[in-house]
Chains A and B, each alone.
Chain A
Amino acid sequence: MAIGTLARPGLAAAALPDSDRSRAWRKLAGNPAAVAGAVILLLVIAVAVAAPYVAPHDPARQSLIRRFTPPLWIQGGSSAYPLGTDQVGRDILSRIIYGARISLLVGIAAVAVSLVVGVTLGLLSGFLRGRVDAVIMTVVDVTLSFPQLLLALAFVAALGPSLLTIIVVLGLTGWERYTRVVRAEVLALREKDFVEAARAIGASPARMVLRHLLPNTFSSIIVMSTLQVAQAILQEAALSFLGVGTGTAHPTWGQMIALGRDFVSVAWWLATFPGLAILLTVLAINLVGDRLRDALDPRVR
């Protein structure tokens, strides 16, 4: 019992001032790029949540008189429409603000689906080994054979475009990374003394997996998830761009760029700003995720 109490992370943190967590935190806070990424990310999240309050206009309201209004700083621009208007006179800034909601929602929800599926399969594969492992790894190989976007494109088209379809399909085409990483970690952890000790005192398989193996894969899972959200946002934008989007009236960044493509020679701002929104959001997530890896990954440390 005494050994168990000592090993509690809370106690260890209190006893050692230079705990893993505070070290990771300092590493994160000491990097200007990561801090900038975090600030941008928080801003995007805040804007998405408060969209009805911060958007200057209704994103769907059209007006043919003010169509193709250029951005504020160009001749003919208006301060009422800082980033200009599109081919039917809708405010681009407001549409970008509302678009952030879909991008973040799809990005996070799709990764949640991938995470649950991928981590479960990875734990099973690494813990049970043998035939189960062989089957799961074959499924991983099959999934890796398809360009993810192509597979998502075909299945979203077959199931009919909707927000839920996009989330589920992106989730079910992007899980294999979790499985590979978690499996590798579990295979390595199995050989460690503490797992041996748990087995020796008669811990049940479920307890071994959930209490001893899973928590030790958390830092990899967190790092992967941040980077995967960035990927999912890019994939969703690509699907919207190719025309199998969310199937709703809500504007998405990918859709806006697809429309802008048709008017690229008359109104450059239509495609440019939604793309910048994607770039900025994904870049912010990647910067945070990369620093997180440096801070949490024991191999880098």
Chain B
Amino acid sequence: MLTLVVRRVVRLLVVLTGVTLVTFAILHVSGDPVSLMMPEAPEADRVALRAAMGFDDPLLVQFTRFLGNTAMGNFGQSFFHRAPALPLVLERMPTTLLLSVCAMALSLAVAIPLGIITAIRRASLLDHGATFVVFLGTSMPVFWTGIMLILLFAVQLRMLPVSGWEGWASLVLPTITLATFSTPLLLRIVRSSMLEVINLDYVRTARAKGVSEWLVICHHALVNAALPLVTVAGLQFGLLLGGAIITETVFAVPGVGRLIVGAIRQLDFPIVQAGVFVLALIVVLVNFVVDMLYIYLNPQIRVR
């Protein structure tokens, strides 16, 4: 088990180096970072900036420097905010995480019971209805869902604020929007992992020896269906953050996503790089924790 953990940690470091390389590539993929950062500057200024930022060095040297800076949390100064980029990103992180966690919680609250019921009552009217809703949910663009919710609850019914970030009421529509995006995915996973275990021998044995249906489902089936669910939920976290970026833009939520989208319009690449790196780092760490949990929870590995 220890060698497995060590191997995972090495893998984590390799993947993080790769993530840094991709983040580095954002600024260098066009070939000339300077014209990307200041498209209308005179040639003399460009030469000066190129020298000041070290863009004349070989790419490998630049990447090594970038890797060192990233490890120190230094992504350079934001052109627009005139402040170090990383703190600006981290400042907005709690908002994005709050939105993501709320949406995830709402999704799980809907997906787990509904997934269990549709797995037990397979091919019932409810199951067919849920399948259709899953199709609908995965086919709707998130930003459009958000706008339609604004139209209904803020413009027509005047129940909730259109956008902004003041008080709990402004959290409601963004959470629902993001949840409509993540719930169908989770529902499908809960249903299929429940279906996989529900007809296995030990579940039948439990039923045969007279264990109540409720206990069979919660104790025998759900616990075993939970393992794949946790793994996939970890993988879906990246998707959720992607959805959060759009949701924040629709509702003017002051999170990392809105910061990055704004920075892209202002060609403020230190912010873009810091934001992309931090979000990827979160996805990597979430998956690492899920991996560790899996090793810990899975008796087949633990025993060895």
- Chain B positions 4 through 28: 1 when the CB is less than 8 Å from some CB of chain A, otherwise 0: 0000000100110011011000110
Is B139 within 8 A of A282, CB to CB?
A: yes
Binds A, one of B59-67, B164-172, B242-250: B242-250
- In the complex, whether A186 has a CB less than 8 A from a CB of chain B is no
Q: How far is the CA of A258 from the CA of B143 in the complex (A)?
A: 9
Complex-state Cα separation, A151 to B283, whole angstroms: 13
User: A238 to B11, alpha carbons, bound, how many Å?
Assistant: 32
Q: Is there contact, CB below 8 Å, between A158 and B276? A: no
Q: A138-B15, A271-B144 are in contact. Are A153 and B139 (CB under 8 A)?
A: no
Residues from chain A with a CB closer than 8 A to the CB of B301 are: none
Q: Is the CB of B147 within 8 A of A260?
A: yes
A279 in the interface, Cβ–Cβ < 8 Å?
yes
Interfacial chain A residues near B85, Cβ < 8 Å: none
Q: Which residues of A contact B27 (CB under 8 A)?
A: 158
Contact flags B131-167 to A (C-beta < 8 A → 1, else 0): 0000110111111100110110001000000100000
B110 within 8 A of A: no
Residues of B close to A283: CB separation below 8 A: 135-136, 139
Interface size on A, residues (CB 8 A): 45
Decide if the interface of chain B is mainly helix, strand, loop or mixed: helix
Bound form: Cα–Cα A264–B251 in Å: 12
State which of A83-91, A140-148, A209-217 sits at the interface with chain B. Answer: A140-148
Q: Does B109 contact A (CB under 8 A)?
A: no
Report yes or no: B141 in contact with A242, Cβ–Cβ below 8 A.
no
Task: Name the distance in Å between B248's Cβ and chain A's nearest Cβ.
Answer: 11
- Is residue A278 within 8 Å, beta carbon to beta carbon, of the partner chain? yes
* Contact, CB under 8 Å: A275 / B148: yes
Q: With A147-B241, A155-B29 known to touch, is A142 a contact of B141 (CB < 8 Å)?
A: no
Given A147-B239, A147-B242, A155-B29, verify A261-B147 contact (CB < 8 Å): yes
Closest to A287 in B: B135
Q: A residues within 8 A CB of B19?
A: 142, 145-146
A146-B279, A158-B26, A238-B142 given; A264·B246 CB < 8 A: no
Identity of the chain B residue whose Cβ is nearest the Cβ of A285 in the assembled complex: B139
Could you say which residues of chain B place their CB within 8 Å of the CB of A287? 135
Q: Which residues of A contact B249 (CB under 8 A)?
A: 241-242
Q: Which residues of A contact B18 (CB under 8 A)?
A: 138-139, 141-142, 145
- A14: Cβ under 8 A from any B Cβ: no
CB nearest to B257 among chain A residues: A150
Known: A139-B18, A265-B162, A283-B135. 19 other contacts (CB 8 A): A142-B15, A144-B238, A146-B238, A146-B279, A147-B241, A147-B242, A147-B279, A153-B245, A154-B264, A155-B26, A158-B29, A158-B269, A159-B29, A234-B139, A241-B143, A241-B249, A257-B147, A268-B155, A272-B148
Interface residues of A, Cβ cutoff 8 Å to B? 138-139, 141-142, 144-151, 153-155, 157-160, 230, 234, 237-238, 241-244, 254, 257-258, 260-261, 264-265, 268, 271-272, 275, 278-279, 282-283, 286-287, 290
Which 9 residue pairs are nearest across A and B when measured between Cβ atoms?
A: A147-B242, A142-B18, A275-B144, A283-B139, A282-B139, A149-B242, A157-B264, A145-B280, A154-B26
